[in-house]
Amino acid sequence: MSGAYLSLKGVGKTYAVGGKGLGRTAQKLHAVSDVSLEVERGQTLGLVGESGCGKSTLAKLIMQLEAPTEGTIHLDGEDLTQLSGAALKARRQRFQMIFQDPFAALNPRMTARAIIAEPLVNYAVGTKAERERKVQDTAAAVGLGPEHLTRFPHELSGGQCQRVGIARAVALSPDLIVADEAVSALDVSIQAQILNLIVRLKAQMGLTLIFVSHDLSVVAHVSDVVAVMYLGRIVEVGDVDSVFNAPAHPYTRTLIEATPEPTPDKRGTRAPLGGELPSPLDPPSGCAFRTRCAFAEPRCSAERPLLRPFNGPRQVACHLAQKVNDVMDAPAHG
Ligand code: SF4
């Protein structure tokens, strides 16, 4: 096993779909397939891809909110998939989640104070007075004043609700935070504030962060390492500069072209991503991206490309990565 702080090996998640009633057979939905990733302590991994690519499912698997169908997830050398009951509850203090919808994630019958205090109460941290002090300190750290602590979620704005959700996530001083589309439900004017708050807390607390988003500009802003997912698989993973400044997989290239930011110098030079994401119930043979890839060859339907090292600190799953990049980066003539 590697020495990485978080290490995923061959992680997959399959759901049985349909199959109820006479004569109906269940189909297998491959939400996540054969994902192997390593994250060093203190790093931020950005997980990016279109809606439905499996990134939120992968976040839930890392958080042990769902059990993987296959593979292992080691945190600090311990396989989380082997834990259950009290042992898993004890480890959960070390990894917490920030959810997409701040309203849905908060109990409407609890005040902000009670919500932030809940994990401290659950884990019997300190005395009542110590917990109150921790709640006030944590609230202040996320930009909430004493006046917010007596309010219920419906009395708070979306941004304030997300600050409460973040306070709850960091109250136990975890090592790892998984943020699943943590700003996408917020007004654009608020997104940057919450994003900067997460980045600041990460630095102050020495957190390891998994940042899940469909928004490449957000991922580029916060990440050290980026993993690009397509139909449940990682198709490109590497340091943020390599992936965003010199994307190697045709999917990463088109995803960046379809994004208003984050590489203005390269915007508008290539066609936006077309076509629909294929159904994970019936994924294409070979390379899952072949139905949308302008470079597909017969080999692409016959053989699944594996992640292989490509040009520096990055891996790419494409049979024709070198050829594609030679063609795309060739200077235009005429
Ligand atoms: Fe395109 Fe083939 Fe590469 Fe898949 S393996 S991305 S279909 S060129």
Contact between residue 249 and residue 317 where contact means Cβ atoms under 8 Å apart? yes
Q: pLDDT grade, residue 185 (50/70/90)?
A: confident
Q: What is the average per-residue pLDDT within 118-132?
A: 96
Distance 274 CA to ligand 1 centre (A): 15
Nearest to 8 by CA among 57, 66, 87, 61: 61
- Ligand 1 atom closest to residue 300's alpha carbon, by position in its atom list: 2
Pocket test for ligand 1, best of 249, 285, 300, 304 (most atoms within 8 A of CB): 300
**Does the Cβ of 246 fall within 6 Å of ligand 1?**
no
Q: pLDDT grade, residue 273 (50/70/90)?
A: low
Distance 85 CA to ligand 1 centre (A): 43
Assign residue 232 a region (left: φ > 0; alpha: ψ between -120 and 50; beta: otherwise): left
**Does the Cβ of 305 fall within 6 Å of ligand 1?**
yes
Task: Locate 16 and state its tokens.
Answer: 């049985």
Sign of CA dihedral 261, 263, 264, 267: negative
**Does the Cβ of 290 fall within 6 Å of ligand 1?**
yes
Q: pLDDT grade, residue 2 (50/70/90)?
A: low
pTM given for the model: 0.90
Residue 313 has pLDDT above 50, yes or no: yes
**Does the Cβ of 318 fall within 6 Å of ligand 1?**
yes
**Does the Cβ of 166 fall within 6 Å of ligand 1?**
no
- What pLDDT digit, counting tens, does each position of 130-184 carry? 999 999 999 999 999 999 999 999 999 999 999 999 999 999 999 999 999 999 8
**Does the Cβ of 328 fall within 6 Å of ligand 1?**
no
What Cα–Cα distance (Å) separates residue 298 from each residue in 95, 211, 262, 287, 320? 44, 36, 33, 10, 12
Summary mean pLDDT of the chain: 90
Which residue has its alpha carbon closest to ligand 1 atom 7?
A: 290
Q: pLDDT grade, residue 189 (50/70/90)?
A: confident
- Ligand 1 atom closest to residue 305's alpha carbon, by position in its atom list: 5
Distance 28 CA to ligand 1 centre (A): 24
Q: pLDDT grade, residue 317 (50/70/90)?
A: very high
- What pLDDT digit, counting tens, does each position of 256-268 carry? 888 765 444 444 4
Q: What is the average per-residue pLDDT within 269-292?
A: 81
- What pLDDT digit, counting tens, does each position of 47-102 carry? 999 988 999 999 999 999 999 999 999 999 999 999 999 999 999 999 999 998 88
Contact between residue 211 and residue 222 where contact means Cβ atoms under 8 Å apart? yes
Cα 245 from Cα 256, distance rounded (Å): 10
Distance 300 CA to ligand 1 centre (A): 6
Task: Locate 34 and state its tokens.
Answer: 């054969």
Cα 89 from Cα 206, distance rounded (Å): 22
Residue 111 has pLDDT above 50, yes or no: yes
Helix/strand number for the chain, H first, E second:
13, 12
Q: What is the average per-residue pLDDT within 213-219?
A: 91
**Does the Cβ of 293 fall within 6 Å of ligand 1?**
yes
**Does the Cβ of 211 fall within 6 Å of ligand 1?**
no
Contact between residue 210 and residue 177 where contact means Cβ atoms under 8 Å apart? yes
- Ligand 1 atom closest to residue 288's alpha carbon, by position in its atom list: 4
| pLDDT value for 260 | 66
